[in-house]
Amino acid sequence: MHHAFTLFGETLHALPSGALYWPAQSLLCVSDLHLGKSERLARRGGALLPPYETRETLSKLDADIDRSQPAHVVCLGDSFDDLAAADGLEETARLWLARLMAGREWTWIEGNHDAGPVDLGGTHLARLTLGPLTFRHIANPAESGEISGHYHPKARLKGTSRPCFLLDAQRLILPAYGTYTGGLRSEDAALRDLMQKGALAILTGHRAFPMPL
């Protein structure tokens, strides 16, 4: 139920979950997990949310890893809602992550919420370039061949708003993968100015569904 497309000559698969799979590199990419968001909100006196988002997000990631069996996982930044949230992960979540990371390469791309390394292993980079594609957290309008996150794009179909990928000839922006994440409308000026004419929104859900942006 994925949607396959090409970007700079590479075949990529947008998965219904919001993850991206690159078969030639055996690479699974996710963005904006925002693990520990409920803990961060409670710590800072914000809204009290049921503290289940880390479990739900890791469960979804576990399922995608089980299906695709990637050799390399790239997390495109804002994997944690802040650095204290990373430090405050419950032991069960730490062990769960350790199991997912075992036996495969794991790259944490720095985000604006988690700008420093976390004590969970893996490689920590500002950006990662593989072949013609560069993975970073926030899109750079001056660059091309990039895969990024940050904006949490959403699009509407039949009155329902759904997280989506945004794709044009130069870049791909991933949806937020985390359970407690908001979204930015795909027609917002910040996204409209980034994407070229003819861009697609690839909606997540039961299946990955492409439509004109």
- Tens of each residue's pLDDT in the chain, 213 residues: 899 999 999 999 999 999 999 999 999 999 999 886 545 444 444 454 455 678 889 999 999 999 999 999 999 988 886 565 566 677 888 899 999 999 999 999 998 866 655 678 899 999 999 999 999 999 999 999 999 999 999 998 887 889 999 999 999 999 999 876 667 888 888 898 999 999 999 999 999 999 998
Q: What is the pTM of this model?
A: 0.90
Two tokens, residue 154: 């959403």
Reported CATH class of domain 3-212: alpha beta
- Count of CB atoms situated within 10 Å of the CB of 67: 13
CB 163 within 8 A of CB 183: yes
Start-to-end Cα distance in the chain? 20
